[in-house]
Structure 1
Amino acid sequence: MTPPPEPRWFDATAPELSPARGAGARRLWSIPLLVAALVLVATARSVTVRALLPVALVAAAGALLARGRRHLLPAAPASRRGLSLDGDRLLLRGKGGAGEHVLLTTRERFGVTLLATPRRDRIVALLTSSAGMSSVGASFDGPARRAFAALLDRASVVGSDEVGLEAIGPDGEPISLGPAVLAALLDELTERSPGCLDRFLLTDARGATLSLDSRELRAGGRVFDLTAPLEWRAFVFQEALGQAVAVYQGTWVRQGTSEIFLVCLLPAMTPSLDGLGASPGPLDRGALRDLRLMQGAPESPPPPEQRVAIDRLLMVPIRSALDKAPRPAAQTHRARA
């Protein structure tokens, strides 16, 4: 009998200052306090002021430095927040053991959809399963983008202003990992479920299955074979909502007698193609491809009974999968970088 895998721990980092930067800021603030103490000793005329106020300032500076040293010490495991892959459950554990949340169970089918900003300085992994959808994220500086280029190349580009890129956890706080920690988590999940990076598993607003993998798309009670020829196009349309007008983006898909319109709200700001370079590298070429997949021509609103509402973050991954599927001889449109 195969023994269960050893538990794995993936530390979550604070989205604000790291401990080292926070300690550096405290050291900087302590310097003016010490200088002020020396100036008072040299210039104050009152004996009381010269004796007591500098002592108070020095004590305040010392307290800041001591607090900085405490923050530089390794955190006790019980005080850390992060993800735990224990047995077949991926859990979010709060600081000090303040509750745990099940993000997914690896014994069931699950999906991991990678999304990135156009600059590839932020990546989010959408975790989807029968438990619902959750997300974890990581930020990448220049060296990290080069070191993890293969991982970033697998991510679909979305707008930088998307709320989903904040990767808010079920406890209301962002789940932010370091680049290497996120890569290690994805390696572990891929080892347990090969193909999970090409899959998502959800239900739509009507309770029907909404799923995608490398072979098929299921939506609105219909199944589309991604290994067989199909037709698709991207479009935008408007609809009045009372006194306001809502702008939507849609993806029309047809294969044989099956036909649907996947719809969601259009982002307030579509990412620009400018600034990606006249001779784009591999990551830029992927971003250009995905940014072009976002474009759609204006059309009339589709029939309501044929619409399937989807999460806006999933539109580009779906279009990317459709773009790789074979085309009927009469339709040759593809988004190319």
Structure 2
Amino acid sequence: MRLEAKREGKFPGAGVPLSAAGGGLRGRVGRTPERWFEVVDPDAPPAEPRRWSWPSFVFAALLCVAAVGLTAVGKGLAMRVLLPLPLMGAGGLLLRRMAWMARPELLARKLARKGEAPRAGRRGLRLGGGRLSYQGREGTSPSLLLDAEVPFGVTLLSSPRRDRVVALLSSPLGAFYVGAVFDAATQRAFAPMLGRTTIVAADEVGLAAIGPDGEPLFLAPESLAALVEALMAMAPGCQDRVLLTDARGAPVGLEGREMRAGGRSFDLDTALEWRAFVFQEALGQAVALYQGTWVRQGSSEIVLVCLLPALTPRPEGEGVPLSSLDREALRDLRLMQGRPEAPPAQAQRVAVDRLVMLPIRSALDRAPRSGVPTPRAQA
């Protein structure tokens, strides 16, 4: 029995060419300026700071000195005010531009906010007109990832050190992962966004984001933050939405305060029961390890199931002591744990992507709990 849900192309039309997709939003969204987010190589060495251009620096300094001199010795309003002002402004702008060029990370952050124009032959994401599309290598057709006319979700996942982050983009068009690698400086700069991520086990290969063409899909940290901010502005509720399907093709995920799985709906504002556990099953001569999340509300009872990524998801495996984890990370670590139990009944199982198991448990953890726990059904 295959229990691992597919990640790519869960719905018909996933990654379809733009020419075959339906129309985008009209009106306000259609008039928003187009933005480009270029794919980068996360393993590439950092860019060397550019050296100052001394002729430009000398010229800027001369402009400033001339402006000060005219202010001191000039005669009349024009010589003492009107002429020095543009000279001082030109010198200041030139010095500011030189400072940006000497700090590549600041320049990249500025370009990410403005939306850098795509360069020939480069891969990237294009956001405009209420659509997010992926442009592969030269000669390939762009693929539609998100359309504002269709509900979509943005789920942020990270490693325990929060140095690797992926944004799970889910919608009826499919599920796609966009990643970024954060160093110490960018972790400090984007701490508010990183604080909203859900940590996953250290060995999750899903953190290596792959595009629709099978190539790595990583952005610069500044670009990923700008993309997430733009998507949240386009659909304010997207961070509380996960739209996937199970192995049978039935919808599974979160829609605000509602969880849908196995053809059932669970109100997360109403009391329910849930429990995390692990179990094993024989597959021929091998033994497969699974993690499960049992949920019951009223007469509805299901068990979300996926492969277990690690026997003990310990952040120490990545050199992260527990004392260094923040409150949210410790909560996620607690939600990863589960006691060994007997395998659940086959009829109750709903296969989900293991990367979304923890976000679902986090949503369940915030729901009110029933007062008297009852045992789940056994296989």
TM range (shorter): 0.7 to 0.9
Give 2:240's match in structure 1, choosing from 198, 210, 232. 198
The aligned residue for residue 85 of structure 1 is 127
Could you tell me how far apart the structure 2 residues matched to 1:309 and 1:182 are? 29
Query: Identity over the aligned pairs, expressed in percent?
Result: 60
The aligned residue for residue 162 of structure 1 is 204
SS at match of 1:79: coil
Q: Is the 8 A contact 2:315 2:322 kept in 1?
A: no
Q: Is the 8 A contact 1:249 1:265 kept in 2?
A: yes
Cα distance, 1:82–1:238 mapped onto 2, change above 3 Å: same
Query: How many equivalent pairs are there?
Result: 278
The aligned residue for residue 266 of structure 2 is 224
The unaligned stretches of length 5 or more in structure 1 are: 24-73, 332-337
Alignment of 1:135 with 2:177, yes or no, is yes
Could you tell me how far apart the structure 1 residues matched to 2:224 and 2:312 are? 27
The aligned residue for residue 284 of structure 2 is 242
Q: Is the 8 A contact 1:138 1:182 kept in 2?
A: yes
The aligned residue for residue 318 of structure 1 is 360
The aligned residue for residue 37 of structure 2 is 10
The aligned residue for residue 54 of structure 1 is none
Per mean C-alpha deviation after superposition, the further-off stretch among 92-101 and 140-149 is 92-101
Report the AA paired with residue 7 of structure 1.
Answer: E
Deviations 1:263-309 (A, max 9, x none): 001013543154655654xx622111111111100000000000000
1:207-286 pair list within 5 angstroms: 207-268=249-310, 270-274=312-316, 276-277=320-321, 280=324, 284-286=326-328
The aligned residue for residue 348 of structure 2 is 306
Deviation (angstroms), 1:98: 3.4
Deviation (angstroms), 1:146: 1.4
The aligned residue for residue 186 of structure 1 is 228
Report the AA paired with residue 147 of structure 1.
Answer: A
Cα distance, 1:247–1:290 mapped onto 2, change above 3 Å: same
SS at match of 1:267: coil
Q: Is the 8 A contact 1:273 1:288 kept in 2?
A: no
Report the AA paired with residue 255 of structure 1.
Answer: Q
Per mean C-alpha deviation after superposition, the further-off stretch among 164-173 and 265-274 is 265-274
1:27-176 pair list within 5 angstroms: 77-176=119-218
Report the AA paired with residue 227 of structure 2.
Answer: L
SS at match of 2:138: helix
Could you tell me how far apart the structure 1 residues matched to 2:46 and 2:247 are? 42
SS at match of 1:77: coil
Alignment of 1:20 with 2:35, yes or no, is no
Deviations 1:11-32 (A, max 9, x none): 11123325736x9xxxxxxxxx
Deviations 1:162-194 (A, max 9, x none): 111100101111111111111110111111111
Structure with more relative contact order (C-alpha pairs < 8 Å, separation 6 or more): 2
Q: Is the 8 A contact 1:167 1:174 kept in 2?
A: yes
Cα distance, 1:306–1:190 mapped onto 2, change above 3 Å: same
SS at match of 1:217: strand
Could you tell me how far apart the structure 2 residues matched to 1:217 and 1:320 are? 12
Report the AA paired with residue 302 of structure 2.
Answer: I
Could you tell me how far apart the structure 2 residues matched to 1:300 and 1:133 are? 32
Q: Is the 8 A contact 2:289 2:307 kept in 1?
A: yes
Report the AA paired with residue 34 of structure 2.
Answer: P
Deviation (angstroms), 1:143: 1.5
Cα distance, 1:277–1:15 mapped onto 2, change above 3 Å: closer
Q: Is the 8 A contact 1:78 1:97 kept in 2?
A: no
Q: Is the 8 A contact 1:159 1:269 kept in 2?
A: no
Report the AA paired with residue 179 of structure 1.
Answer: P
Deviation (angstroms), 1:116: 0.4
Q: Is the 8 A contact 1:276 1:284 kept in 2?
A: no
